[in-house]
A and B are shown apart, each in its own frame.
Chain A
Amino acid sequence: MAELVFLVAALIILVGAVGVVASRNPVHAALFLVQTLVGVAVLFVLNDAHFLAAVQVVVYAGAIVILFLFVIMLLGVDKAEELRIEPIFGQRPLAAVVGAALAALLGTVVIGGADVLTGLRRAGGDRALDGDTTDIERLGRVLFSEYAFAVEITAALLTVAVVGAVVLTRRASHSDGSTPVDA
C-alpha cells in the first residue's frame, strides 16, 4: 500500500516539476507547482509528518503560490514566453548536461550513502518518532527547547523580510518634500 501511494505521489511530483519547467505561461507553471507541492505533502503524510503536510498545503500551496499569482497578475507578465528561441547559444543542451551531471553526482553520493546515514544512530527521548506523542507535540517540544534560539532568529528574519518587502516596493513619495527615497 505504501509503495503504491509513493509511486503515485512520485509520478504527480515529477509531472508537476516538468510542467513548471516546460510550460510557456507562468500561470500554468504556478498551477503545476501546486501539483508538485501537494504531491510532496502526500509524501509527508506517508512519513507520519502530518503537521508538516498541513503546513505544506497551507503555507506553500496556499500562501506562496498565491503570492506568485498575485505578482504575475500585478505585473501583467502572464503572456506566454516564447520557449523555442534560444537567446544564448547552447544554453539548453548545456543546462541538460549540467542537470544530468548534478543528478548523477547526487544520486551516487546520496543514495550510496543512505544506508550509512540511516544506520548511524537511533534517537531517544523527545526526539524519537516512535513515542506515544503526536508529531506536532514532539515538534513543538524540541522546537521550543533545543531550538528556541533558532526560532527567535527566524522571527527576526521574518520581520526583516516584511520590512524589506515594504521598502523595496513602496513608491517614492515626493509630495511631502521629505527624503527622496527611490525604491
Chain B
Amino acid sequence: MDLAGLSVGWYLALSVALFAIGGIGLLVRRNPLVMFMCVELMLNAVNVAFVALGAGLNDVGGQLAVFFVLVVAATEVVIGLALVVAINRRRSGATADDVSLLKG
C-alpha cells in the first residue's frame, strides 16, 4: 500500500471530527429519526479509524471489527426504528423530549 505522506493520523483526525459532529447532532436534534442518523455517523467515524489503524498495523482485525460494527448497527437500527414506530402509533409526532412521559 502506497500512502506516502498520508499517515494514519489524517484518518484519525477525520474520524474524530466525524464523531464530534455526530455527537453534537445527537445532543441538538429532537427528532428521534435524525438522532439515529447521528448515531450512524458516530459508528462510521469509528469504522474509519478501525480500517485505517488496521491498514497501519497490517492486520485484518480492523476490518473484522468493522464487519461486526456493521451487523450491530443494522440490528440497532431495526430495533430503534421499531421503537419509534411503536411510540408514534400511540402519540403521533413524538420527539425525544416526550419520552419523559414514560416516567411514572
A residues whose Cβ falls under 8 Å from a Cβ of B: 2-3, 6, 10, 13-14, 17-18, 20-21, 26, 29-30, 33, 36-37, 40, 43-44, 47-49, 51-52, 55-56, 59-60, 63-64, 67-68, 71-72, 74-75, 77, 81, 87-88, 91-92, 94-96, 98-100, 102-103, 106-107, 110-111, 114-115, 117-118, 120-123, 126-130, 135, 138-139, 142-143, 147, 150, 154, 157-158, 160-162, 164-165, 168-169, 183
A183 to B13, CA, bound (A): 44
Q: Which chain B positions have C-beta within 8 A of A127?
A: 59-61
Between A and B, 30 residue pairs with Cβ closer than 8 Å are A17-B22, A29-B34, A33-B37, A36-B18, A44-B51, A52-B63, A60-B40, A67-B78, A81-B30, A87-B97, A88-B97, A91-B27, A95-B27, A100-B20, A102-B20, A110-B16, A111-B16, A114-B7, A114-B12, A117-B53, A118-B57, A121-B57, A129-B1, A129-B54, A139-B64, A142-B64, A161-B75, A162-B78, A168-B79, A168-B82
B57 adjacent to A122 (CB under 8 Å):
yes
A91 to B25, CA, bound (A): 11
Q: Which chain A positions have C-beta within 8 A of B81?
A: 67-68, 71, 165
Total B residues in contact with A, Cβ cutoff 8 Å:
76
